[in-house]
Amino acid sequence: MFSVFATSSGLSGLLTDGREFLAAVRLARSDALWLLLLLPMLALLNRFAARRRKHAVAAIGRPAAVAGQLTHPRPSHRWLGLAYPLAWLFLVLGIAGPRWGKSDEPGVAVGRDVIIVIDLSRSMLAEDMTDPKAKSRWEGARAGALDLLGAIARRGGHRVGVVVFASRPKVICPLTTDYRHARAILEDINGKYPPPECKPGADPNITSGTRIGSALVAAVEAHDSRFTGSQDIFLISDGDDPKEGDKEWVSGVNAARTANIPVYVVGVGHPTKSTAPELDDEEAEPFSTQLQEGLLGKIAAGTNGEYRAARTGSPQLGEFFHNRIEGQTTRTIVGEDQVPQPKERYPWFLVPALSLFLVGWLRGR
């Protein structure tokens, strides 16, 4: 059966265009949207005032008789009652600072530099997460990284990079403001098939499949030394290093502390229950693993960062970044590093808002 939903020129095409448009909209002051909560309160006050007026007219006489005494009876246009609510809606959206498209001139990129470090060692294959869409630890780590990237992209201006590691680290995304590129890289991460560069290879000096220290060193080196004080590292791991006794992680802590870069550590996995990961390699020796919060807490404390225990739930890092980090010291990129900025569109909302307020005022005269 033919359906307009199946045609590109039908309703499905309009819905797709609408979703893509909304995804491209950025709000400079998204907190202003809380003002929309005042709309129901104003509606209740207006309803209360209308009832008071009705009772006042009833005290004079029957409403129909009183209306008949008017020299110029006012025509009823109920749709005009929407003028003030719509005006308030447009006003709040205008205050929120909507931006989309690209401005004619490039602007400076103002924000923080964030490197996301994701553990892809074999222990991250353990399926002890409660999220049905992210059962394994590496899937939970990837979901948390995507949530963080969403918050970074919402304001814009920040740069983000990605490092993955197991026995060795690999920078899979240098610092960039191309959030679509960064998202594509994150979505392409597969803990079952980490990059070959993350495996020990023939290096006899690598004795563990979880080298957190070298990963943090790589993250520090991936930062731009020009912008000390406006840099962050997010480490998402279960902290389960079979060679923890060699304290290899200390080298990474020292590198981050020397560079004055806090490491925000996110622990994934069950902290008390051991889980045996399913390994594709039949020759691999089975093992059990659990979240090592003690080690991860030491890494955070040693770098003036913070430890967040996601445990068996997908990390919600976007809200944490917005509330705790985004407002800190920012860096400004100038010169050849200038990037196009979204175009301000607030007049598209403020002009209709003022027009509707005028219509409401004229209606009330």
Q: Where are the domains of the chain?
A: 9-68+78-101+344-364, 106-278+286-340
Q: Which one, of 77, 78, 91, lies nearest residue 42 by Cα?
A: 91
Cα separation values, 105 from 101, 102, 332, Å: 12, 8, 17
Cα separations in angstroms, 33 against 21, 69, 320: 19, 45, 19
On whether the pTM is more than 0.85, the answer is: no
CA distance 334 to 340: 12
Tell which residue, 194, 185, 172, has the closest CA to residue 124.
194
- Rounded to the nearest 10°, the torsion over CA 143, 144, 148, 154 is 40
**CA 9/CA 15 separation, integer angstroms:** 10
Q: What is the pLDDT of residues 208-245, one digit of tens each?
A: 889 999 999 999 999 999 899 999 999 999 999 988 88
Q: Which of 227, 216, 198, 19 is nearest to 117 (CA)?
A: 216
- Residue 235, by phi and psi: left (phi above 0), alpha (psi -120 to 50) or beta? beta
Residues 6+ apart with CB under 8 A from 176: 159, 160, 161, 182
- The answer to whether 120 and 189 are in contact (CB under 8 A) is yes
pLDDT band at 44 (very low <50, low <70, confident <90, very high): confident
DSSP-derived pairing of the beta strands 106-107 and 339-340:
antiparallel
In this structure, the number of other CB atoms found within 10 A of the CB of residue 223 comes to: 22
**Lowest-confidence region among 47-56, 60-69, 135-144, 290-299:** 60-69
Structurally, at CATH architecture level, domain 106-278+286-340 sits in 3-Layer(aba) Sandwich (3.40)
The larger pLDDT score, comparing residue 207 to residue 260, is at: 260
